């Protein structure tokens, strides 16, 4: 069962969306309550809470997506390295294999 935020953002299937909404909710609570305690103005505190939600949610969204992209790049590099290790293991192209004088072309 999926939960759609604003009718189009499927929170369960989109990476980082669930955490972004949760952190945004906490951020809105902290900012709104902090502003209310400082000024005792309800309407203005609600405006700050909405702004805190948007800023916190978008901030964590970009942070999480950046880390996810870095993780996928490292994973792709590791997969290619493992494939090359299996492909070149034991051949003359293996970088870990000790080369003798005959293989290097030395006379």
Which residues are CB-neighbours of 97 under 8 A, at least 6 positions away?
90, 91
Q: Single out the residue of 61, 74, 65, 76 nearest to residue 22, CA to CA.
A: 61
Confidence of residue 2 (pLDDT cuts 50, 70, 90): low
pLDDT band at 44 (very low <50, low <70, confident <90, very high): very high
- Average pLDDT of span 4-21: 75
Please state the rounded mean pLDDT for residues 10-15.
74
Q: How much is the average pLDDT of 15-20?
A: 86
Cα–Cα distance, 12 to 94 (Å, whole number)? 44
Q: Which pLDDT score, from 0 to 100, does residue 68 have?
A: 94
56-89 confidence digits (pLDDT tens): 999 999 999 999 999 999 999 999 988 887 777 7
pTM as predicted: 0.69
CA distances in angstroms from 53 to 27, 31, 79, listed in the order given? 6, 8, 38
Confidence of residue 104 (pLDDT cuts 50, 70, 90): low
On whether the CB atoms of residues 33 and 12 are closer than 8 A, the answer is no
């Amino acid at each position: 069962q999926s939960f759609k935020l604003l009718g189009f953002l499927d929170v369960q299937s989109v990476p980082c969306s669930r955490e972004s909404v949760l952190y945004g909710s906490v951020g809105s609570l902290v900012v709104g309550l902090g502003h209310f305690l400082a000024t005792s103005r309800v309407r203005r505190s609600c405006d700050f809470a909405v702004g805190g939600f948007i800023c916190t949610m978008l901030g964590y969204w970009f942070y999480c997506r950046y880390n996810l992209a870095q993780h996928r790049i490292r994973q792709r590099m590791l997969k290619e390295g493992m494939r090359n290790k299996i492909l070149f293991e034991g051949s003359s192209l293996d970088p870990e294999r000790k080369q003798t004088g005959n293989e290097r072309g030395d006379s």
